[in-house]
Amino acid sequence: MLWLPAFVVGLVQLSIANPLASKRWNDPAVKHAWVETPRGWEFHSAPPPDHLFDMRIGLKQNKLEELISSLYEVSDPAHERYGQHLSKEEVDALVAPHPDSLETVESWLQYHGINPADARFRSTASEWVTIRVSVAQAERMLDTKYGVYYHAGSDSYVVRTMEYSLPRELHSHVDVVTPTTYFGTMRSMRSTSFLKPQTVTGAEDSFALEISPLAVPASCGTTVTPACVRAMYNTTSYVPRATGTNKLGITGYLEEFANDADLQTFFKDFLPADVGTTFTHVQVNGGLNTQSDPGVEANLDIQYSLAIAVPTPATFYSTGGSPPFVADSNTPTNTNEPYLDWLDFILNQTTIPQTISTSYGDDEQTVPEDYAVSVCNLFAQLGARGTTVTFSSGDDGVGGGNCLTNDGTNKVIFQPAFPASCPFVTAVGGTTKVNPEVAVDFSGGGFSRYFAQPSYQTAAVSPFLTGLGTKFAGLYNATGRAYPDVAAAAEGFQVVISGRTESVAGTSCSSPTFAGVIALLNDFLISEGKAPLGFLNPLIYTIPSGFNDIVSGSNPGCGQAGFTAGVGWDPVTGLGTPDFLSLQALVA
């Protein structure tokens, strides 16, 4: 670690007695502030001053621009570096903070009586540092007041603040501090799946039969089985060959985990030849795996990613982070920050799955921009290392609820979703029906207000914007990152939950299904001695012929009709749904 040697720390301690040092740290400037309490949350009480929590400090990465440049080069099929993904050590070297940033942050910590050597966690590049502090300490350090806030919709309590400040000198060295103004938790965020009224009491024998891609039955438009998605996306005939190297990852939160017995029942009913195939459980930050109460989301994700990719080895990451707030200074509660715990873990692994799917998201405007950018850049690290990261695009069309802005103006605008709006992930929208597929009406899609439109999608998005003209003017950001990138089926998925087959819908169906197709493409490439696909977007926007274009349907929301699917890319289904054999030929 690039932490200061003892003699420098000693100098810092001596400087605390110096009035100039005191002035250095007593010049606060606001880093982020809300004008109103985020919707759905309400102030509950003041936390005890001695309540302890883990504070994360994200330092500015010295060579971040070089990392992003390398990411695009190794992901661009027209570039000479295509497929030459970076090692963990190479990524760490690019994201490490400048020594001046380390020294400045350490001096600030020392001023507040915190020994940097006592940090509870440091990323291997030292760009993320976690320290344990009391509420009183955090309030002094960040010139703020913390409160306990309650979210009735999820029965969640968190310790957060309406604004926080840092000394002006730190603004050029620190990207973000958490937990501060990001109120979202995995419990309050939306899992992008939901049960449908239809209940299937037992699987029919025909469900286990393979279906010809040339004759997908109409029943697959309402009752989706593994045979359906294999036929719809043309994977039926492919047999994985690189299972010793190729891996698939599924992330889970909210104390959800995938159930082993349910997977075997799923295989017995739908894929009898694969009975006995298992997956690896990994618990992160107190994640659970009791096997006693399986989650809809978790079972859906593991069952349908494997329905496509079996026998590709799969890992389910059960990540903790949603305990209730307990006012106990001796029992610190988790900071409850979505994604960061899992990202801390996975980026510190030497080897990681080549394909990873996640099915959670929230309105972009509820995520402080500094936090969103920092998390998005962590996904860029995964891409640079050769991993494809897919996210569900959301289940609220162009926006759910009243779609009012939270900046005090209370305007109605379309609400993009994060992390789907991050330009370094592949966002997956939803479809329904067959022969042809059409956009499902809840498919999340639109344009980011935080992230600019990346060059890899400009040529595809421009025709849509031209055709849209002035329609919805002022309701969306035409220069923002456009999503989704692709789509897959999202309704009528037959999922085994506690031994019972239920019908599930949502773009949570779409992301793991699409990830399964990508896992097969990675299997093919690795078996041919080639690099895996990694960050997918620069490639797929150059080969739209590998997708089934979805030309009908829309995604209403915010009291508006929403965008309409049409020829070419659209913000409902992206480039369309995958055709595995076509994509296989294109990437060969």
What CATH number is associated with residue 331? Answer: 3.40.50.200
- φ, ψ of residue 270 to 5 degrees: the values are -120, -30
Name the 3-class secondary structure at 248.
Answer: strand
Buried b / exposed e across 126-157, counting CB within 10 Å, b at 16+? bbbbbbebbbebbbebbbbebbbbbbeebebb
Inter-CA distances, 229 with 36, 434, 563, 581, Å: 45, 10, 26, 14
Inter-CA distances, 327 with 42, 162, 184, 535, Å: 17, 20, 20, 43
Domain count, the chain: 2
Cis status, amide bond into 463, omega within 30 of 0: no
CA distance 64 to 381: 10
Inter-CA distances, 24 with 28, 104, 519, Å: 10, 10, 52
Q: Provide the phi-psi class of 401: left if phi over 0, else alpha when psi is between -120 and 50, else beta.
A: left
183 lies in a domain? no
478 lies in a domain? yes
Please indicate, yes or no, whether residues 163 and 205 belong to a single structural domain of this protein. no
353 lies in a domain? yes
Which DSSP string corresponds to 463-483? HHHHHHTTTTTTTS-TTEEEE
- φ, ψ of residue 423 to 5 degrees: the values are -70, -5
CA distance 103 to 93: 17
Please indicate, yes or no, whether residues 245 and 209 belong to a single structural domain of this protein. yes
Q: pLDDT per residue over 309-359, tens digit each?
A: 999 999 999 877 654 555 544 444 555 566 788 898 999 999 999 999 998
Inter-CA distances, 352 with 345, 424, 529, 538, 554, Å: 10, 17, 18, 21, 36
Tell me which residue has tokens 């773009």. 507
Please indicate, yes or no, whether residues 194 and 169 belong to a single structural domain of this protein. no
- φ, ψ of residue 98 to 5 degrees: the values are -65, 145
The reply to whether 413 sits in an annotated binding site is: no
The reply to whether 570 sits in an annotated binding site is: yes
Q: Domain range holding 132? A: 6-62+97-178
CA distance 439 to 564: 9
Please indicate, yes or no, whether residues 246 and 304 belong to a single structural domain of this protein. yes
- Give the N- to C-terminal CA distance of the chain in Å, as an integer: 41
From the number of C-beta atoms within 10 Å of its C-beta (0-12, 13-18, 19+), residue 384 rates as buried
From the number of C-beta atoms within 10 Å of its C-beta (0-12, 13-18, 19+), residue 267 rates as buried
Q: Copy the structure tokens of residue 395.
A: 């289940």
Q: pLDDT per residue over 430-483, tens digit each?
A: 999 999 999 999 999 999 999 999 999 999 999 999 999 999 999 999 999 999
Q: What positions carry a catalytic annotation?
A: 297, 301, 508
DSSP H or E stretch at residue 71: helix 64-75
Q: Copy the structure tokens of residue 41.
A: 């949350």
CA distance 476 to 35: 22
pLDDT at residue 332 in the model = 47
Please indicate, yes or no, whether residues 295 and 438 belong to a single structural domain of this protein. yes
β strands within 112-162, DSSP E: 121-122, 128-134, 146-151, 156-161
pLDDT at residue 326 in the model = 56
pTM over 0.85: yes
pLDDT at residue 188 in the model = 46
Q: How many residues does the chain have?
A: 588
73 lies in a domain? no
Tell me which residue has tokens 């640079």. 384
Q: Copy the structure tokens of residue 69.
A: 């440049």
Please indicate, yes or no, whether residues 45 and 162 belong to a single structural domain of this protein. yes
184 lies in a domain? no
β strands within 299-445, DSSP E: 314-319, 355-358, 360-363, 388-392, 417-418, 426-432, 438-439
Of 539, 576, 582, 543, nearest in space to 388 by CA? 539
Pick from 150, 178, 206: which residue ends a domain? 178
77 lies in a domain? no
Please indicate, yes or no, whether residues 310 and 449 belong to a single structural domain of this protein. yes
The reply to whether 550 sits in an annotated binding site is: yes
pLDDT at residue 335 in the model = 54
- φ, ψ of residue 30 to 5 degrees: the values are -60, 130
Q: In one letter, which amino acid is 193? A: S
Please indicate, yes or no, whether residues 165 and 261 belong to a single structural domain of this protein. no
Please indicate, yes or no, whether residues 404 and 485 belong to a single structural domain of this protein. yes
Pick from 178, 208, 234: which residue ends a domain? 178
Helix axes 369-384, 88-95, angle to 10 degrees: 150
pLDDT at residue 206 in the model = 44
Please indicate, yes or no, whether residues 162 and 288 belong to a single structural domain of this protein. no
8 A C-beta contact, residue 194 and residue 506: yes
pLDDT at residue 189 in the model = 47
87 lies in a domain? no
pLDDT at residue 208 in the model = 55
Going 104 to 109 to 115 to 116, the CA torsion angle's sign is negative
Please indicate, yes or no, whether residues 173 and 194 belong to a single structural domain of this protein. no
81 lies in a domain? no
Tell me which residue has tokens 């409850």. 336
CA distance 347 to 164: 28
Q: How many other CB atoms are there within 10 angstroms of residue 489's CB atom?
A: 28
Pick from 178, 213, 245: which residue ends a domain? 178
* Ranges of the chain whose pLDDT falls below 50: 1-17, 187-190, 199-206, 323, 328-332
CA distance 510 to 390: 10
Please indicate, yes or no, whether residues 376 and 511 belong to a single structural domain of this protein. yes
pLDDT at residue 327 in the model = 55
pLDDT at residue 195 in the model = 61
CA distance 248 to 250: 7
